[in-house]
Copies of this chain bind each other. A is one copy, B any other.
C-alpha cells in the first residue's frame, strides 16, 4: 500500500470526532477557520513523502519493498536515530520552525510501548507485545497520524493518583468488561489531537500499588464514543485572515492542543497495552520520554537556527553588524544553537540498544541538551529582540507601505543597511516579530519551559542518568581516601 496523499489524510479527519472550539462543536476540522490551518500545516508530512526532494529522507522501504514513513522505522542503530532526527528537523524547517508532530510523538510512544510490552511479557504471563505490534502495523501500513495523551489534570500535586479527593484527577479504569476496559479522566496539553487519526494514551508518572487502576495505556480512534476534545483557542484570534506577508509563520502553520476528556470510554482489549500492572507505569512513562526528548531536541533545531539567522538578517538590514555588542550577541546565539545541535548528534552517537534491539538515545546527553535549550531560550530571544530593535512592536504595517498617501514616506525613511528596500526590511521585521515577539513567539517560550517535560523533569533525568560512582571514586582516589 502506498503512503497516503494529503487529500486522503484530510478526508480521514471527517469521521464525526467530538471537537469543541470556544464552546462550539466543530462540524469539520478540515474547514474550520483555525483548525483548518493546523490540518494544512500537518499536511507537510504527507507532502514531503510525495516530494522527490525529501522522499529519500521521509520514506523507507522494508524487506518486501513496501514503502512506509520513516517516522515508523524502529531505530536499531545510531544512524537510524540520526536519520530520524534529520527528518524531524527538515519537516520542522518546512513548518517555518513549527514541528509537524503527527507522527513524531506517536512513534516515540510506539517505540516505548514495544520496549515495555517486551519487558512485561518476559516477566509476566502477559501478551502485550503482539497487540502493540498489531497496532504498530496498523499505523504504519495505513500511514496514520497519531496524537499522544499523557499529562493528567493531576488535582492536588502533593498526592498520588489514588490519594486524590477527586478520584478522576488521573485517568483511571472504572470498569473491566468482556468488551474491554472503561476509562474516565482528563488529559491536558494533547498536541495535534484535533487532526490525528489515533490517540495513544500513556500514564504520566510512576505509580504505587494503590494506584493500580491508574496504570493504564491504550490506543483509540479519535471518533471513539465518550472521547471529547476541547481545543485551545490560544493564538487563534484572526488566524483565518492572516496574510503571509505580515504573519509568515502562523498564516500557514498552526498546532492545536486539546484538553482531552474520557467520559467512560470503552477501550477494546486488543487496544489495551497496560491495565493495572502498576510497576510498569513509571518505566513506560520514562521509556516514552527517553525517545520523545530526543525527538524534541531534533525539532528545536530549526527554531534555534532561525534565532541565529534572524539576528544575522536584522543586524545586516539595520546596518549594525559591526557593533561590538551585536557581534557578541551573534556569537552567543551561535554557541547556543550549535551546542544544542552537537549534543543532539552526540546523544544519538551514544545511543544504547535496549529491549528488542531498539536503540535509545543517551538519556544524560539528551536531557542536558533539552535543559540547555529550555533554560536559556528566553535570554537568546532577548538577544534577537535587542538586535532587531523596537520597530518590532512600533513599526507600520503593509497597508501603510502600500498606501498612496503615506506609503512614499515609508519607502523613503525605512531603507535599510546596504540599501535594502523598506518593503524587504519590513518583511524581515515581520518574520522576526512572529518568531520572537508575537503570540507565536511566546508560545515557543512557554513550550520551551513546559513541553516534553519541565526543567525540573530534565534535571531529575540528568541526576538519574549520571554514573555518580565514577566521579566519586575518582575523587576518593585523588584525595587518598580510596
Binding site for B on A (CB under 8 A): 20, 22-25, 93, 96-97, 151, 153, 155-158, 166, 168-169, 186, 188-189, 228, 230, 232-235, 237-238, 244-245, 248-249, 257-259, 261, 263, 302, 305-306, 308-310, 312-313, 318-320, 322-325, 327-328, 330-331, 334-335, 337-339, 342-343, 345-346, 349-350, 364-365, 368, 371-372, 377-379, 381-382, 385-386, 389-397, 399-400, 402-403, 405-407, 409-410, 412-415, 417, 424, 427-428, 430-433, 436-439, 441-443, 445-447, 449-451, 454-456, 459, 462-463, 466, 468, 470-476, 478-481
Contacts and interface: CB of A to CB of B under 8 A. Distances in A.
Contacts of A430: 479
A378 B372 contact: no
A328 B390 contact: no
Given A259-B409, A306-B471, A343-B343, 7 more contacts: A158-B319, A166-B412, A189-B394, A234-B392, A234-B394, A309-B471, A432-B479
A426 B93 CA distance: 34
Nearest to A423: B481
A328 B393 CA distance: 28
Given A20-B403, A313-B479, A346-B345, A437 B446 contact: yes
**Nearest 6 Cβ contacts at the A-B interface:** A309-B475, A23-B399, A431-B479, A324-B324, A390-B450, A309-B471
Nearest to A389: B450
9 contacts: A23-B407, A24-B399, A157-B320, A232-B393, A234-B392, A235-B393, A261-B409, A306-B475, A424-B481
B431 A475 contact: yes
B228 A409 contact: yes
Nearest to A337: B471
Contacts of A345: 346, 349
Contact of A339 (B189, B230, B368, B397): B368
Contacts of A157: 318-320, 323, 417
Contacts of A470: 305
B232 A396 contact: yes
Contacts of A331: 459, 462-463
Nearest to A382: B378
A221 B391 CA distance: 25
A230 B400 contact: yes
Contact of A447 (B24, B310, B393, B479): B393
B478 A306 contact: yes
B478 A431 contact: yes
Given A334-B466, A427-B480, A342 B368 contact: yes
Contacts of A325: 324, 328, 455-456
B449 A153 contact: no
